[in-house]
Structure 1
């Protein structure tokens, strides 16, 4: 075909530019985006990259893919990179409250799917080029985030349906990655190296130019658009849409991945991991999704527990355990609830039975092989061991809490007797589970054979603050619920004896020893919202108040050092409270610290 004929064909297809011209326009588009403004780019040049992707003329009705899928891979990647830059810039500018008007207009045009680009991005999931799949999934996820509740549900339905239909790991990964990026998006995630002085300030149009110069939001000569709607940065709507689209296919998807895991082959590793991570992200409290939106995703976990065996590699174990630990979010949620939901309780029971009756811990692929004594060398899979230990502790804590909650309102004597009988049965089961856990850990870790669980749990999690504090809360609640409970018999209070297995006092002494008796560490944990240390300290101090003699005995020669930490912590809190610098009401902790201090001073005086 001669050049005039080629040009005529391009005009018929709505693309009046050559390949070289198009590549040049895409490069100009990308450079403009790197400058955070599209105002200097001519309208005709701005439209060419998008018009060039329009579907073929209506005479070619048999075409199933847009022109974008037919480009050579390098050209596709360059175009997708341009889209990624556009959407990411729009997200960042929108978060800051000030956008380049042309950037906003282009995103709005794309949200109307004027050139069918979004459908074509979804169609790219059929490609076998892993670089195109990765780049297209990132661009599509960013597009959904910036369009938010203007996203067409049909796009999400098309994505999730393809996930059900396909058996290609690459296509599964494409859809899962898109949804996962949307669900995990943080609306106010600004990098520390960026100037955040205007991140929470809505700029007026008169001051936009000067402010944008100093904060590097947009160039001085940019025609800006002030975003005054505070909900414009809220991605909750699109997250809910994605979850709703998945919900329609969820049973089919879980069955599909159950089958994949049941006859696992390495080619599915990335897809399985992303699926499990997405599942974990959906139910995570960090996703900020409603309980109603996520209730279905707490079901169909039983089969996954049964898949924890020697046929599944360690990396899949870790992600399965991560999912289960998120369901049993004890420190952040379950420990604070009076009545526990059925789903986490069911999972906890299943884990307890799997450890006690099915020897779940024997199948732990700690040393890169099947079972605890599997082949391989080195120190073993530390993160895997930490996750299974925390999961068992959570399962035990949930089981104990649920049992006590179910019968805590018993007022008749016969019901109280039933409670004691129930707790005695549960206590035997829990002791066996903890015995197996203790044996497993001491087989794999160089802990002294006589060191009780209440102490090695601190050493096990010494490098993971969130795991450590949640594990300590679990141990404390189980100890109080089972081993340190008291009952009234014949009008006499019966206090159950000290048990070192889960002694809260031994745990705390080991903890302060691990942090080198530094009260500033405890203060930092109290101020931070990254762990549940406030909950732990509140419950532990209440325990010490009721069991002061046992606390003194466990501290032994370290009583003075341990109490010095608590006294110095109380003084540090007092100083912050006096200056109104403490971020929340800390008075309950202060009262308990003073009471424990008075007990200590009384012992000194005597």
Structure 2
């Protein structure tokens, strides 16, 4: 139907009051949102009238409706970009301030009441935020996702599981590809959440204004474990379909944008991570598809996807923080380790690393190359080797306790087979590193490992533990290869490590006190090794023996001083006893050597 000029003018004149009313209403809402945000910056909403706090949310409830097909049409979809961002940001500030105040032990009553109204779904906030996953503006989508995650954390133990089910269903949407990334990113933020203490820089001025009516809260309200469990449970049944989609994209090289893959891999890593504090039962279904992604790693995959896949595998093979401490290992990390060892040995996995960005052997581009990517790959291989050896060693110990001597002999034969595989894997790793980085051709792996990771304390120490445990596991056999023992020499690794930190006992003391690395585990293991293999240590480190023992002696003295002042944070007695034993061995081996304690 074609309108005449007169009819069009009449309709426009009729709509003009409505447009003006909408514009005035939006300006009022924006003013309300500014008042809410400014008050939240002061950590209290008591100064804002309740009607002003509620008004931006009332519009959501009134205008939210279903279309003829039964699909929900959100009022937010019709808002301007500026108003949408203001509203979503105000909700994010509200939730984050609630989280902070809960951590401190008190909350503003008005903030609590507002959050309770949102949790009771009075305004259908969750539905509105999920619908923004289809918004055309990526900044709106990003802010909405961040806000939704903050809302779930703030709500904690009062979450309706149906919200998470809808979020998980949204991840399988085919109408808008960005919906999957939105949902997975929200779940990733929840899984990564840490119930930690307040940062020291945030401690000042943390009490509410004198006009605030605040409430004390119980410590039990601070735990985010339940929301993490609910999130993982909602995702569990959808996970095979999600994995299959990304696996197909990567395997067929159909992925044009890596951002969605990165979010997916980040979520996977967050769920499996020991830091998430989830139970084995909750995370077990998420290990099933890991082997498929080892096969996907090839020269066609982009460096960014390589890095995040390696991060995922390194998290599964969490050797220093978990696996090295366990009496027996779970099947899942062992299976992944076996596959990685085989992929390196038989399928030349290391040759596919896009070190210089191109395809083919180590990438065909120019420049210095992607050293962070290379380090992730090296750490993964060392962890896979350590897990394989530890698993075989555990089985050997079990068999040797059997009354049947043939079982013990079979286990020893198994270790010999493992040793041959490990020798080839480490040979290929050594060749790869010396092809790509300027290390001396004769430098053993034991030495360049400490050099390669010298700027990453956590990776360095975990790599040293892997090499040490592989040595201990392989060379308890009488017929073990002495050449491989030199390649992995823990004495040379310790010497290079101490050389890297300039023989500074303060650095060692900081690493011992910090909970960010597994240095305590390494120091205990390496001191035990030195005690049992003292002649080898003296021979390997003859020119540096006085420097090495000097820093260990000074470390001993520094620990003693802290203990005398009751400042050492845990029982360090086992380390002290080993240090004393090594010092006595040193005094007996060469009393003429100068001591620097």
- TM-score bracket, normalised by the shorter chain, equals over 0.9
Q: Which residue of 2 aligns with 1:209?
A: none
Following superposition, the deviation at residue 401 of structure 1 comes to 0.6
Q: Which residue of 2 aligns with 1:22?
A: 29
Q: Which residue of 2 aligns with 1:40?
A: 47
Q: Which residue of 2 aligns with 1:166?
A: 174
CA, structure 1 residues 34+273, in 2 after alignment: closer, same or farther (shift >3 Å)? same
Following superposition, the deviation at residue 22 of structure 1 comes to 2.1
Q: Which residue of 2 aligns with 1:119?
A: 127
CA, structure 1 residues 290+393, in 2 after alignment: closer, same or farther (shift >3 Å)? same
Given the alignment of the two structures, is residue 225 of structure 1 paired with residue 215 of structure 2, yes or no?
yes
Q: Which residue of 2 aligns with 1:195?
A: 203
Following superposition, the deviation at residue 79 of structure 1 comes to 1.0
Within 1, Cα distance between the matches of 2:536 and 2:67? Answer: 84
Among 375, 379, 385, the residue aligned to 2:374: 385
Following superposition, the deviation at residue 162 of structure 1 comes to 1.6
Following superposition, the deviation at residue 266 of structure 1 comes to 5.1
- Deviations 1:56-107 (Å, cap 9, x if unpaired)? 3879766621211211222111111111111111111111112111111010
Please tell me whether the aligned partners of residues 512 and 562 of structure 1 are also in contact (alpha carbons under 8 angstroms).
yes
Task: Give the alignment's TM-score, normalised by structure 1.
Answer: 0.91
CA, structure 1 residues 353+112, in 2 after alignment: closer, same or farther (shift >3 Å)? same
Within 2, Cα distance between the matches of 1:599 and 1:177? Answer: 55
Given the alignment of the two structures, is residue 443 of structure 1 paired with residue 442 of structure 2, yes or no?
no
- Deviations 1:116-164 (Å, cap 9, x if unpaired)? 2221111111122101101110111111011012111111111111212
Within 2, Cα distance between the matches of 1:153 and 1:55? Answer: 24
1:195-274 equivalence runs, <5 A? 195=203, 215-227=205-217, 229-265=218-254, 267-274=256-263
Q: Which residue of 2 aligns with 1:472?
A: 464
Within 2, Cα distance between the matches of 1:530 and 1:58? Answer: 50
CA, structure 1 residues 2+191, in 2 after alignment: closer, same or farther (shift >3 Å)? farther
Please tell me whether the aligned partners of residues 530 and 537 of structure 2 are also in contact (alpha carbons under 8 angstroms).
yes
Within 2, Cα distance between the matches of 1:73 and 1:5? Answer: 22
Following superposition, the deviation at residue 9 of structure 1 comes to 12
- For structure 1, the 5+ residue unaligned runs are 197-214, 488-493
SS of aligned partner of 1:225: strand
Following superposition, the deviation at residue 372 of structure 1 comes to 3.9
Given the alignment of the two structures, is residue 519 of structure 1 paired with residue 505 of structure 2, yes or no?
yes
Following superposition, the deviation at residue 376 of structure 1 comes to 2.5
Following superposition, the deviation at residue 27 of structure 1 comes to 2.0
Following superposition, the deviation at residue 547 of structure 1 comes to 0.8
CA, structure 1 residues 17+103, in 2 after alignment: closer, same or farther (shift >3 Å)? farther
Q: Which residue of 2 aligns with 1:490?
A: none
CA RMSD of aligned residues (A): 2.4
Q: Which residue of 1 aligns with 2:319?
A: 330
Q: Which residue of 1 aligns with 2:351?
A: 362
Q: Which residue of 1 aligns with 2:299?
A: 310
Among 415, 420, 423, the residue aligned to 1:423: 415
Q: Which residue of 2 aligns with 1:394?
A: 383
Following superposition, the deviation at residue 419 of structure 1 comes to 2.3
Within 2, Cα distance between the matches of 1:192 and 1:552? Answer: 45
CA, structure 1 residues 478+167, in 2 after alignment: closer, same or farther (shift >3 Å)? farther
SS of aligned partner of 1:52: helix
Among 333, 344, 361, the residue aligned to 2:333: 344
Please tell me whether the aligned partners of residues 60 and 123 of structure 2 are also in contact (alpha carbons under 8 angstroms).
yes
Given the alignment of the two structures, is residue 109 of structure 1 paired with residue 117 of structure 2, yes or no?
yes
Within 2, Cα distance between the matches of 1:154 and 1:604? Answer: 72
CA, structure 1 residues 275+509, in 2 after alignment: closer, same or farther (shift >3 Å)? same
Q: Which residue of 2 aligns with 1:509?
A: 495
Further displaced range: 257-266 or 563-572? 257-266
Further displaced range: 142-151 or 409-418? 409-418
Within 2, Cα distance between the matches of 1:252 and 1:299? Answer: 13
CA, structure 1 residues 244+373, in 2 after alignment: closer, same or farther (shift >3 Å)? closer
SS of aligned partner of 1:165: coil
Within 1, Cα distance between the matches of 2:71 and 2:17? Answer: 21
Q: Which residue of 2 aligns with 1:201?
A: none
Following superposition, the deviation at residue 415 of structure 1 comes to 2.4
